[in-house]
Amino acid sequence: METHKFLKGGKLLLCKGPKCRKNRAMTLITTSEDLAAFCASLRGATYVTVDTEFMREKTYYAKLCLVQLGGPDSAVAVDPLAEGIDLSPLYALMADSSILKVFHAARQDVEIFVNHAGAVPTPLFDTQVAAMVCGYGEQVGYETLAVSLTNAAIDKSCRYTDWARRPLTDQQITYALGDVTHLRGVYEKLKADLAKTGREAWVQEEMRVLTDLRTYQVEPRDIWKKLKLRTDKPRRRAILREVAAWREIEAQSHNIPRGRILKDEQLLELANQAPRTIEELGHVRGLSQNMAEGKHGAAILAAIESAMALPLKECPNGEAKRKPVNGAGAVLELLKVLLKQVSDKHGVAAKLIASSDDLELLATEDAPDIKTLSGWRLKLFGETALALKRGEIALTVRNGKIATIP
């Protein structure tokens, strides 16, 4: 006889027999009492699957709308927007070092917990990373992975729903809970694959970045580095840095998207034109006269003046251009072939082993500071790549496949 768990009055109860509704195990938690009871029921569990639903189209910080938790034999959706709910038990669960937190593509979910609780959920396991280690492709999606590993029937009906709108429908809750119920099977299969290949340590190494608090901390004065300014003039780069930092701080303080203040294209235009007056600012493409004459215009001009007043040596320089090396292009192509051969042979996503930037640096420098030459990647690919560069091995074709020979 099947047994299912459900919450009632802050207590985790059981129901049995033909009259038991399975969907009682799929409960929407809206009270502090029920949340505390469910989190308490997970004591002793080796892991819990976790997912979130959020909205961020109108805000700088993601608005947390739903948290899904999957225990060994139960799953719930927690409504963080419910009136008066205290999420402390949830945050305590995320901080419990005895319970592994299993996510898929964890970065955005973890960022939300960092913003709300000030800490990274630990210990952590990301099934997307594990899938790349196990040869299921590069950045494989949850739906693809769940179907491949568990033959799950994935509900796609609420993929683009408004999670901030209340009340939530039964269809929304069922859809959301599928993200943690199927994740249990995905995790178990990947865990078994990793044990079979002895690659558990590889995933643990990758988790260090995801569990590092610095991964989720935004430094306003570094935002400009993500923008492609087509000039190496230090003064122009200083302007971009100062205006981008102002925009970031403004967006954070008012919790609105960056683009609502200034779009990236406008930042680049400001850096190139370097307007010094309200009139010049009003001529920048995309900026209205009202903005130029308002408080934002004054702040932009102040940021530009700050950049213009910097000694030239304090202005950011462009990235050092890599010196061309004779034959580097051919070496790069050989490294790409080798990477494909290693990726196919060992069943590990090529992108996880080495990025295109890693390969370029490896082709042009003798000892570049890249992840490919450290940890598990060094043994798997880095040492062979260096041997290829030194002429100690060659690439050939055997039985229609690329192989290495002395």
String of DSSP letters for 163-231 = TTSSSPPHHHHHHHHHHHHHHHHHHHHHHHHHHHHT-HHHHHHHHHHHT-GGGG---GGGGGGGS--S-
Cis peptide before 123 (omega within 30 of 0): yes
Q: Per the domain annotation, does 194 fall within a domain?
A: yes
* Predicted local distance difference test score (pLDDT) of residue 21: 43
For residues 78 and 88, give the distance between their C-alpha atoms in angstroms, rounded to a whole number.
12
Q: Per the domain annotation, does 70 fall within a domain?
A: yes
How far apart, in Å, are the Cα atoms of 15 and each of 24, 26, 38, 168, 180? 9, 13, 16, 24, 22
Structure tokens that stand for 165 in this block: 């709108």
Does one domain contain both 14 and 148?
A: yes
Residue 27's H or E segment, with its range, is strand 26-29
For residues 131 and 187, give the distance between their C-alpha atoms in angstroms, rounded to a whole number.
10
CATH of the domain at 136: 3.30.420.10
Q: Which residue among 287, 314, 341 closes a domain?
A: 314
The closest of 114, 187, 105, 178 to 149, measured between CA atoms, is 187
The total number of residues written for the chain in this structure? 406
* Predicted local distance difference test score (pLDDT) of residue 50: 98
* Predicted local distance difference test score (pLDDT) of residue 318: 66
The closest of 106, 82, 102 to 93, measured between CA atoms, is 102
Does one domain contain both 123 and 14?
A: yes
Q: Per the domain annotation, does 292 fall within a domain?
A: yes
Does one domain contain both 60 and 174?
A: yes
Q: Per the domain annotation, does 321 fall within a domain?
A: no
Does one domain contain both 158 and 19?
A: yes
Does one domain contain both 351 and 388?
A: yes
The residue segments making up the domain with residue 361 are 328-405
Does one domain contain both 191 and 256?
A: no
Residue 342 · residue 370 · CB < 8 Å: no
Does one domain contain both 332 and 295?
A: no
Residue 183 · residue 47 · CB < 8 Å: no
Q: Per the domain annotation, does 323 fall within a domain?
A: no
Does one domain contain both 292 and 336?
A: no
For residues 369 and 210, give the distance between their C-alpha atoms in angstroms, rounded to a whole number.
20
Does one domain contain both 170 and 301?
A: no
For residues 364 and 369, give the distance between their C-alpha atoms in angstroms, rounded to a whole number.
12
* Predicted local distance difference test score (pLDDT) of residue 72: 87
* Predicted local distance difference test score (pLDDT) of residue 2: 39
Which residues have a Cβ under 8 Å from the Cβ of 306 and sit 6 or more positions away? 242
List per-residue pLDDT tens for the chain, 406 residues long. 434 444 544 444 444 444 444 444 458 999 999 999 999 999 999 999 999 999 999 999 999 999 999 998 899 999 999 999 999 999 999 999 999 999 999 999 999 999 999 999 999 999 999 999 999 988 889 999 999 999 988 877 788 899 999 999 999 999 999 999 999 999 999 999 999 999 999 999 999 999 999 999 999 999 999 999 988 899 999 999 999 999 999 999 999 999 999 999 999 999 999 999 999 999 999 898 899 999 999 999 999 999 999 999 999 986 555 555 556 889 999 999 999 999 999 999 999 999 999 999 999 998 899 999 999 999 999 999 999 999 999 999 998 889 999 9
For residues 374 and 209, give the distance between their C-alpha atoms in angstroms, rounded to a whole number.
14
Cis peptide before 167 (omega within 30 of 0): yes
Q: Per the domain annotation, does 127 fall within a domain?
A: yes
Strands 394-398 and 401-405, by their bridges, are antiparallel
Q: Which residue among 216, 246, 261 closes a domain?
A: 216
Does one domain contain both 244 and 379?
A: no
Does one domain contain both 109 and 258?
A: no
Does one domain contain both 258 and 200?
A: no
Q: Per the domain annotation, does 322 fall within a domain?
A: no
Give Rg (Cα) of the chain.
26
* Predicted local distance difference test score (pLDDT) of residue 16: 47
CATH of the domain at 358: 1.10.150.80
Q: Per the domain annotation, does 319 fall within a domain?
A: no
**Single-letter amino acid, residue 386:** L
Residue where the block lists tokens 């990274």? 120
* Predicted local distance difference test score (pLDDT) of residue 246: 98
Domain count, the chain: 3
Structure tokens that stand for 349 in this block: 């996503």
Phi/psi at 49 (nearest 5 deg)? -85, 145
Measured from the Cβ of residue 164, the count of other Cβ atoms closer than 10 Å reads 16
Q: Which residue among 267, 292, 314 closes a domain?
A: 314
